[in-house]
Amino acid sequence: MPPNLVAATVRQGLFTRIIGRRLLYYPDLSSTMDEAGKLGEGDAEEGAVVVAETQTAGRGRQGRNWVSQPGNLLVSVLFRPTLEALPFISIIGGVAAARAVRKVTGLEPQIKWPNDLLIQGRKVAGILAESAIAGDTVWYAVLGVGMNVSLNTDQTEEIASFATSVNAAAGKVVPREDLLRQFLMDLDALYLALGQEQSPIEEWQGLLSTTGQRLEATWGNESFIGVAEGTDPMGNLLLRQDDGSLLTLTAGDVTLGAN
């Protein structure tokens, strides 16, 4: 295997049962999500991992572009979950990313609903889940994680106001292979537990920075203002609006400090 991020991760000891059965590394891709999706459309075993150094058409939630530069983490993982487990794929991705950052750096990340990873209130990673369903059967699901490790966010205008990197937050160079290996191992443990009907929701709720905050939630062309009371057992946001009504939001974006 050529010297690359995946090779370094495996060489230093990747111990998993499902995640990482197959590890693919690309110097450049259009999108790790798309590449993992192609594996899903075929007969690839679940747990396949696609890693890219850079990508030309990376995307975040709601079709946004994801800034891609060398030296960061761009990872997508193929799952073949049950319909019952599907809603938790994005959630275990967020928990695994938070665990990995905490274990490797000692920092205490939080999650901004639904699944942006924050360090000191600034975005360090985004988590995206996409799936293909036929009837009541999940064909496959892909979990994508983009993590700023060495990215100089101050030099990237579109994210300078709200993003940071792991290195900047830690005040030192953090080995990417350590973050990747720990993320895959925690993701594997969480997915195995999910298969044994152990929900990750309590740990995920404990990481949420939005609970108890006044915020504005947007979805499409609609916006709602209120106080986040937490989430339901499926991870949907519970927003107490100013008229006293409780709104359940299954998806969207939130902005803290709404008037």
Question: Considering the chain, what is the average pLDDT of its residues?
Answer: 91
pLDDT at 2: 41
Name the band, by pLDDT with cuts 50, 70 and 90, for residue 158.
Answer: confident
What domains, with CATH codes, occur in the chain? 5-206 (3.30.930.10), 210-256 (2.30.30.100)
**CA 121 to mean position of chain CA atoms:** 16
Q: Which amino acid is at 222?
A: E
Q: What is the pTM of this model?
A: 0.93
Is pLDDT of 90 > 70?
yes
| Residue 63 pLDDT greater than 60, yes or no | no
Ordered strands of the 214-219 beta sheet: 246-249, 237-241, 222-231, 214-219, 253-256
Which residues are within 8 A (CB) of 105 and not within 5 positions of it... i.e. 6 or more apart? 166, 169, 170, 174
For residue 216, which of 244, 250, 239 has the smallest C-alpha distance? 239
For residues 213 and 158, the model is more confident at 213
What band does 59 get if pLDDT is binned at 50, 70 and 90? low
97 close to 117: Cβ distance less than 8 angstroms = yes
Question: How many C-beta atoms surround the C-beta of residue 254 within 10 A?
Answer: 22
Predicted pLDDT of residue 259? 63
> In the chain, how long is the greatest CA-to-CA distance?
60
Can you give the pLDDT at residue 241?
A: 96
